[in-house]
Structure 1
């Protein structure tokens, strides 16, 4: 059947073909930018836009260009007929050419000849100042570490720093929670997705497998083979680019920590330690021992508070023969404006009945995992109800212990008083409406939820652990014994109005937090950052309100 269709042979150059056609029909191809300078009609056929956007992503949303767009064949036929009959592209084409291809005027070769042979530099573009380039790795698991990274990325000036985030494509794309967090990144951040497999020689494969199984290698020669394998993988992903700083922000992945440790020598290599890592190693994550083996390759090991940095220095410094100056600190950054805006949104309908002037609502937020110890809080709240029988407790978050916690609530007959509300895309309307925030953790680095609760002016009760003590000392909240009885005592003190609640100055805190990050992440020659970060007293240690 003759459809009147000719398939152009591969021997014809695309640009030569574009010069003779009258209308271009395309979907998401960059060929549209090659065709725009011809001034001829373009029709966009994007019937699978949402599917393509979700699976492949877009550099430019087709709808933002303003070109005629069709979702169906009938719409496409109508657009082509109209475009052929009008023959006049007007202001739209002029705008698109100016925006995307202003130098496509047919004179490029002449300008090149004039520049090289006749010293004509009238068309030379001014050189942009070279910005410092920062590389981060993150996998966007919905937790406090991800919140801290997102706040940090928003605080980095894109006019001064070129920021790249590398993500594991398969793990991130397959998880809706991770994707939601991933999409919160600033538009100025460049994203590199790691795909494909790491390549090894037989010797390297044996060494890497040994490290993963035994979390240690026998000698320095084996460590050199291990580093070589990851240096090659670094080049596979990033080519020959040399970042000013390569920052392993997440801190819990053996592969990614080894990869960032393999950055070129010219790059300052930084690993963030979001907790007392020795306690994490002994209590939850045996694989951290393999990560510790890569720490000597980093220029800075940055904890999220000064006291946690001291703990990590004391525990890991002698173990790994690392100098004290290798251990630094940079507190978690916050985004008070966004927190306040999100808090003003509507409360989720299923939570409405958990707030009332007739009773007190306590809230906690965090992953339902052993270190958060929600069981201790539930048992404490069970005892507390003897004194305040109308009080309610909301637990926001999800995790492996949720089934066990749900059974405990049922066994204690607390279903009318405690609600496991799950993971919420916006927890702040609930936090802002709660009467008091409670943290029951056994250990934390610098809990982001405490900073968010302080931003919203909430009274806070927390177990007296190192990370919480650093945040709440000097009157920002109440620290209680890390036990059921300690939490009961704290809940009791809330009823009597005896929770310390000093004013939290978010702008001063954020300024110091950002300066500490720059001092830790940038090469040591940036004395301005070092001075700003470590010469001023800590906002949390010396409250001004």
Structure 2
């Protein structure tokens, strides 16, 4: 070994040894995760510790506070330790709560927080615990959420990022008891976070304990606390803060003007209070008007006991106020923009009070009789407040700590068998198309299906996810892998070398992988784990060691050829596949996507797989119905004497702009060949260009459409110029709907060096197009038997096949796609689900 190589090896090994320690010392989040993980692994659960967290430790109010007040006064819980999460020890509740008994205070992410999060038997939260949290066996997680939603949640939000709800979703999968004020709330919460059928806990549709404080608190005590004259009527203005960071002044000034105008209009026998965001509270303090603001620490539900009139906009506060049967006014000056950006669950004319869109309308409503809203009010009371009797905190404490009322709990979890997939990241490739097709054909009367994916975003991802069947649940992986320093070393070694020795098998951090999957899916159980992607070593590790009845990994190609593949001089998959090959033996089924692909993989991978019986093939499903539907979604435009097929009209709706992309329509005077696929070495497009050059020399009235994109795009463009094919070859780019163009062409050509199956061949066959394909792994399985023309894998054979089509056409068997799909699904259920 020369000096340069020795230094490179030394540098790499030094980095391997030092990096985890440096990360632990310098990166706070890494240290927090490691300490928390160590506590979960080493410390026992304390059966007499209750941890309370409200609004991420920002306050000690609401549902969690109401449960605490009941629990702290329960003689049966006298020996229990009560741990409150509060980030600001100057909170006014601090002295009140600390004087009540065995109470300890921690702040989010400090060491004691991590310790109690890892060891407290009872965990109570009204929002969510941090990304690194996972519930240990023996812990009991109660989530109360924080209100009946007027505004949309999770995936129901307009213009949302699909992964924006991911930590709440993840938390819900850990919850044992979800406390709900009404049926509407728990259904909206679970469905909007895409876990209704997967939710492993139980729902307590008991009502909110915090409403007890509203119904049972003496108004006079609240007025005294806030230094308000007992004879005055209290008007509470509680808007949702919608300002922008950096523009807090403008929003706060507008709210001040609102308060002044309301106060002036109602007169001195009323006092107007503002319950607002802390930005606004600080602004009011600076103006010497902080007496108009309710302290953020003052419990909102206690406050509502003293309120005579409530003004709000989109806040759920009005649902808690409804049981008082006092007037509610809605002030929604930005309703249109709010509906467009966020969305509401209710029509505004159904609300239990008048809706005003400007200050003048609001003041008019406040000063006039609004009896016409009595019916709406009663309907809201019946639908949302049927549990509010003032005794809900007691009922919950009986349920959580003493095992009572269990027969009233509701289960939403499905009885169906469940599948969990990882589908490869949803890039524009054949794996994504195969996954989407499969999801459109699974029997959802028998199976519940979830796909889990990283939370990262890329251009292709969310458009492709939106194409999935609506029955599919989408779960995300927020946060980072929890592991100790020791586990980090072994994990990194696995990620470099794979599991190719007994020594590595003995040192494999299986507990860490099981723990990570549990962090992501909580108590949700899945019968079948399917690594449908097959190229990501981290996900292959999680699925290899997940607790499934059966796990499977897909091989979408000739995997040894993929291992060897280079793109622009660099190995594309070698480093990942080295690890993944070593994991195949930890799977129950190793699934190729075509018979010939399975035969090839059996031979090339035999040193990695002890039992050849594990290796099966399951043909990809195709979505013939969709292909036949969207092939007719074609728009044409005439320009410069030519007709173009519009392939992208994404700017069509932008005001005063028409920005179209299209390709010259295939003409009857030409023989129009088409090939669809990623511009990558295995697809053989350069070979196809060379063959097409031969075709042009014999039959110049020919065209070739290359549909796709990829790392070889520039090379192909250069080759087109070198071969003088600029007037004959059209690079269309990636098309979301290639079937319109495909339906207009005469013959489909696949020039691959190897394939998993050649799904695009069958898509062409669905459209009854003649197909020519190279006689290689994957393609052979599709075309043998007369469904197309198999040619030798060479420039010469490919050009002969294309010229033969030009001269003689192509006789082929009719493709029965319904029969094909039925057989493919039978294979899937047999091998993946072990269903006979």
Separation of aligned partners in 1, 2:379 and 2:689:
62
Structure 1: tracts of 5 or more residues without a match:
53-60, 528-545
Map 1:351-430; keep pairs closer than 5 Å. Answer: 351-430=662-741
Where does residue 502 of structure 2 map in the other structure? 219
Counterparts of 1:387 and 1:277, CA distance in 2: 38
Name the counterpart of 1:326: 614
Offset at residue 310 of structure 1 (A): 2.5
SS in 1 for 2:313: strand
Which of residues 537, 540, 549 is equivalent to 1:267? 549
The corresponding residue for 2:343 is 62
Q: Provide the C-alpha distance between the structure 2 equivalents of 1:270 and 1:32, rounded to a whole number of angstroms.
A: 50
Q: Secondary structure at the match of 2:539?
A: helix
Aligned residue runs from structure 1 range 69-218, under 5 A: 75=357, 88=372, 130-138=415-423, 139-170=425-456, 173=457, 175-216=458-499, 218=501
Of 277, 283, 290, the residue aligned with 2:559 is: 277
| C-alpha distance in 2 between matches for 1:120 and 1:209 | 48
1:294 aligns with one of 583, 592, 614: 583
Relative to structure 1, is the Cα distance of residues 16 and 459 closer, same or farther in structure 2, using a 3 angstrom cutoff? Answer: farther
Moved more, 307-316 or 391-400: 307-316
For residues 37 and 476 of structure 1, what CA distance do their matches in structure 2 show? 71
Question: What are the ranges of 5 or more consecutive residues in structure 2 without an aligned counterpart?
Answer: 1-252, 260-273, 276-292, 351-355, 566-571, 636-644, 647-660
| Cα distance, 1:135–1:43 mapped onto 2, change above 3 Å | farther
Deviation string 1:124-145 (CA, Å, 9 cap, x unpaired) is 8798761111111121011111
Deviation string for 1:232-261 (max 9, x for gaps)?
211111123321111111110111111111
The one of 280, 299, 310 aligned to 1:22: 310
- Which deviations, in whole Å up to 9, do the C-alpha atoms of 1:291-315 show, x marking residues without a partner? 0111111111111112222222333
Using the TM superposition, give the Cα deviation of residue 14 of structure 1 relative to its aligned residue in structure 2, in angstroms: 4.9
Question: Is 2:593 aligned against 1:304?
Answer: yes
Aligned partners of 1:337, 1:78: CA distance in 2, in Å?
A: 56
C-alpha offsets along residues 387-406 of structure 1, whole Å, 9 cap, x if unaligned?
A: 21021111010000000110
Deviation at 1:279, TM superposition (A): 2.0
Structure 1 counterpart SS, 2:772? strand
Q: Which has the larger radius of gyration?
A: 2
- Cα deviation code 1:301-351 (max 9, x no counterpart): 1111122222223332x3134222211221111111111111111154354
| Aligned-partner Cα distance in 1 for 2:748–2:324 | 63
Alignment partners' CA distance in 2, 1:516 and 1:35: 57
Question: SS at the partner of 1:437?
Answer: strand
- Give the conservation status (yes or no) of the 8 Å contact 1:278–1:315: yes
Output one character per residue of 1:490-510: Cα deviation in whole Å (capped at 9) or x when no partner: 111111234232111121111
Are 1:460 and 2:771 an aligned pair?
yes
Distance change (3 Å), C-alpha of 1:154 and 1:50: farther
Structure 1, residues 457-512: CA drift from partner, whole Å, max 9, x if none? 11101111121111111111100011111111111111123423211112111112
- Number of equivalenced pairs: 504
For the 8 Å contact 1:354–1:361, the answer to whether it is kept is no
* Corresponding position: 1:232 with 2:515: yes
CA distance in structure 1 between the partners assigned to 2:362 and 2:557 by the alignment = 61
Q: For residues 469 and 312 of structure 1, what CA distance do their matches in structure 2 show?
A: 15
How far is 1:93 from its partner? 8.2
Structure-2 change in CA distance of 1:83 and 1:308 (3 Å): farther
Give the match's secondary structure for 2:709.
coil
SS of residue matched to 1:395: strand
Contact 1:207 1:222 in 2 (8 A): no
Q: Per-residue CA shift, 1:360-405, capped at 9, x if unaligned?
A: 1111111000000100001111110012102111101000000011
Q: CA RMSD in A?
A: 3.7
Aligned equivalents of 2:492, 2:693: Cα separation in 1: 48
Tell me how far apart the structure 1 counterparts of residues 294 and 500 of structure 2 sit (CA, whole Å): 58
Distance 1:354 1:200, change over 3 A: same
Between 375-384 and 10-19, the greater mean CA deviation after superposition: 10-19
- How far the C-alpha of 1:88 sits from its partner, in A, is 4.6
Q: After TM superposition, give the deviation of residue 87 of structure 1 in Å.
A: 5.9
In the alignment, does 2:633 pair up with 1:345? Answer: yes
Task: Work out whether residues 37 and 101 of structure 1, in 8 Å CA contact, stay in contact via their aligned partners in 2.
Answer: no
Counterpart Cα distance in 2 of 1:92 and 1:480:
73
Alignment check: 8 A CA contact 2:673 2:704 kept: yes
Deviation at 1:62, TM superposition (A): 2.0
> 2:499 touches 2:505 (CA, 8 Å); kept in 1?
no
